[in-house]
Amino acid sequence: MTRPDRRETSQIRALHCALGQLNRADGSAQFSAGNTSVICGIYGPVDVKLYDEKLDRAHIEVKFRPDIGVPMTKDKWNESAIRSTFEREIIGQMHPRTLVQINIQVRQNDGSVDAAAINATTLALVDAGIPLRSMVAAATCAVCANGNIVIDPTQEEISKAQSTHTFGFSNQQTDSPAYVDSRGDFTMDQYNSCYDMCATATERIFAFMRSAIESKVSKESLNEA
Amino acid sequence: MASTTGQLTFAIETFKRIHPVEFQRRFLSQQTRHDGRAFDEFRNTQVVKGTISTAHGSSTVRIGNTTMVCGIKAEVSEPDVSRPNEGFLTTNIDLSPMCSASYRPGAPSEEAQVCSEHLFRLFSGCVDLAALCIEKGQAVWALAADVVCLKSDGNIMDAAIIALLAALEDVQLPQASLDSVTGVVSADKTMAKRLQLQRRLFPASFSLVDDAYLVADADDAEERLATGSLLVVLDGNGKLANVWKRGSFIGRDAIARCVEEAQARRNAVAKALK
């Protein structure tokens, strides 16, 4: 049984990213996995509304915009997921009484968009130079009706899946996930298999992120010299 | 008040208010909690079905001091063109200033929106939407589930899930038929039929307090200090329906232990639901 796009079960889609495309944002990144594409722009540290001001750390705000239509409650759900993941990673104590605004725009949704949003946010935060404790990368797995576990599923695969599992990992802490969202009808064994598959996939994504950042930094240093 | 030894001492209530973190730490570091519970102990849970006689299905749930009421209203509506034989389920949770000082009046807060979205994601797979069809392409039942929090003392998610489950199990739909000539749907209340759920859901929430202690069913005071949260939802067969972890790191083994504890909690909730 092959996948609709003839990938291996443990093969993620082709990754692509571009840093600093938005020239008015303090940092930005576009992250794509196959046909799923997300762009993230960061403003920060900037002025904070009095209501949100925190005396000892920066306030983190996330805006998530879908590819089609106006933001709805499901996008609020994504905002909350991304904020809870990055509130811990951003060292907000270095910029008290300020705001770090994370704007995420889905360009194309072909499944696994929440993982792509987390990856794009990490890259954009690095591009913006926001102090981070560690980097976070995420991947999604789906358990198909026949019991096969596939990584980085497309929308078609997700709609037929028994369960979907998104895991976020930090590059500093390998034994505990930074973010988990497993949904559907699944057993603990399936959960564990998905955990392992996503952990392996995020290692690849970290390597990809690293090379993307390295190439941007080396280009910048060439321009300066 | 100052004691004779020159050291500052406080009444326990004063200490709790001015040093909430230190107050909780004194208990947690001794492997207990401020209300005397063990780390893996849930509060007493009570469920009463059919508490609102004017709704099609309703329930009231108490977990300790957290009180949640759920009412389900069934209305006839036109089905979606792309799914002509499926009804609707919508969920909404109301976290008003009535239940806690931490909620503001006005538009639903982010927490309320996230909570109702999560309820929807969980329960949209539990109700057989095809069973809500009255006449294909013409009329279907639309179930509007409203969960209202009366008292918020932590663990809103568990209370909302149990309340919604109990209310859905309480739903009785009248026998409805569409008059093809007049296009009017008439309902026969004497022939009410109970809604059959495809899956029952049993939640168990855990909070990581002060980045170090993983406690079950945190109350409001503990939740304020929580840096991470974990929701485990099991179905009637003991299979997993949802693992949702947010915030600070919770180890892989700790999550596995929480799933074990959720199994025990499932039996307790099932007993409360009768």
Within 8 A of A81 by CB-CB distance, chain B residues are 246
Assign B7 a pLDDT band (cuts: 50, 70, 90).
confident
Rounded to the nearest angstrom, the minimum Cα separation between B113 and chain A is 6
Predicted confidence (pLDDT) per residue in A100-154, tens digit: 999 999 999 999 999 999 999 999 999 999 999 999 999 999 999 999 999 999 9
**What is the domain extent for residue B111?**
33-273
Q: Is residue B23 assigned to a domain? A: no
Please state whether B155 falls in left (phi above 0), alpha (psi between -120 and 50) or beta.
Answer: left
Q: What is the pTM of this model?
A: 0.94
Q: Are A161 and A153 in contact (CB under 8 A)?
A: yes
Q: Is residue B87 assigned to a domain? A: yes
Q: Tell me if chain B has a CB within 8 Å of the CB of A70.
A: no
**Contact call for A76 and B113, based on CB within 8 A:** yes
To test the contact with chain B by mutation, choose from A162, A165, A176 the residue with the greatest count of B C-beta atoms within 10 A, namely: A176
- Quick one: pLDDT at residue B4? 54
Give the rounded distance of the alpha carbon of B237 from its chain centre. 20
Dihedral of alpha carbons A211, A212, A215, A216, sign: negative
* Token pair of A102 as six digits: 């994370």
**Contact call for A176 and B252, based on CB within 8 A:** yes
Residue of B nearest to A180 (CA): B245
Rounded to the nearest angstrom, the minimum Cα separation between B10 and chain A is 27
CATH of the domain at A128: 3.30.230.70
**Contact call for A195 and B116, based on CB within 8 A:** no
Q: Is residue A93 assigned to a domain? A: yes
Q: Is residue A171 assigned to a domain? A: yes
Assign B10 a pLDDT band (cuts: 50, 70, 90).
confident
Residue B6 has pLDDT above 80, yes or no: no
Q: Is residue A145 assigned to a domain? A: yes
Within 8 A of B250 by CB-CB distance, chain A residues are 176-177
Per-residue pLDDT, averaged over B213-227, amounts to 95
* Token pair of A66 as six digits: 């879908």
- Quick one: pLDDT at residue B274? 82
Per-residue pLDDT, averaged over B110-132, amounts to 94
Say how many domains are in chain A: 1
| Helices within B138-183 (DSSP H only) | 156-170
Per-residue pLDDT, averaged over B140-153, amounts to 96
- Pairwise CA distance, residues A99 & B238, whole Å: 44
- Pairwise CA distance, residues B147 & B131, whole Å: 23
Q: Is residue A9 assigned to a domain? A: no
Dihedral of alpha carbons B76, B79, B83, B84, sign: positive
Q: Is residue B71 assigned to a domain? A: yes
- Pairwise CA distance, residues A101 & B95, whole Å: 26
H or E element that contains A17: strand A15-19
Say how many domains are in chain B: 1
Predicted confidence (pLDDT) per residue in A22-56, tens digit: 999 999 999 999 999 999 999 989 999 999 999 99
Per-residue pLDDT, averaged over A160-176, amounts to 93
Residue of B nearest to A62 (CA): B110
Sort strands A15-19 and A27-33 into parallel, antiparallel or unpaired: antiparallel
To test the contact with chain B by mutation, choose from A140, A159, A181 the residue with the greatest count of B C-beta atoms within 10 A, namely: A181
What stretches of A22-178 adopt beta strand conformation (E)?
27-33, 36-46, 59-65, 99-108, 136-143, 149-151, 163-170
Interface pTM, i.e. ipTM: 0.94
- Pairwise CA distance, residues B207 & B215, whole Å: 5
Q: Is residue B39 assigned to a domain? A: yes
- Quick one: pLDDT at residue A94? 96
Which residues in chain A (72-101) have CB-CB distances under 8 A to chain B?
73-74, 76-77, 79-81, 84-85, 87-88
Q: Is residue A219 assigned to a domain? A: yes
- Quick one: pLDDT at residue B2? 44
- Quick one: pLDDT at residue A132? 97
**What is the domain extent for residue A156?**
15-224
Residue of A nearest to B120 (CA): A74
- Quick one: pLDDT at residue B1? 46
Predicted confidence (pLDDT) per residue in B36-83, tens digit: 999 999 999 999 999 999 999 999 999 999 999 999 999 999 999 999
Q: Residue B144 contacts by C-beta under 8 Å, 6 or more apart in sequence?
A: B72, B73, B74, B75, B90, B92
Mean pLDDT estimate for chain B: 93
H or E element that contains B229: strand B226-235
Q: Is residue A4 assigned to a domain? A: no
Assign B5 a pLDDT band (cuts: 50, 70, 90).
low
Cα of first residue to Cα of last residue in chain B, in angstroms, is 51
**Contact call for B252 and A175, based on CB within 8 A:** yes
Residues of B with CB under 8 A from a CB of A: 110-111, 113-114, 116-118, 120-122, 125, 199, 227, 230, 235, 239-252, 254-256, 259
**Contact call for B113 and A184, based on CB within 8 A:** no
To test the contact with chain B by mutation, choose from A51, A77, A90, A198 the residue with the greatest count of B C-beta atoms within 10 A, namely: A77
Assign B162 a pLDDT band (cuts: 50, 70, 90).
very high
Sort strands A136-143 and A163-170 into parallel, antiparallel or unpaired: antiparallel
Q: Is residue A101 assigned to a domain? A: yes
**Contact call for B117 and A77, based on CB within 8 A:** yes
Q: Is residue A10 assigned to a domain? A: no
- Mutual orientation of helices A188-224 and A113-128 as an angle, nearest 10°? 30
Q: Is residue B7 assigned to a domain? A: no
To test the contact with chain B by mutation, choose from A59, A63, A72, A73 the residue with the greatest count of B C-beta atoms within 10 A, namely: A73
CATH of the domain at B101: 3.30.230.70
Q: Is residue B75 assigned to a domain? A: yes
Dihedral of alpha carbons B176, B181, B183, B186, sign: negative
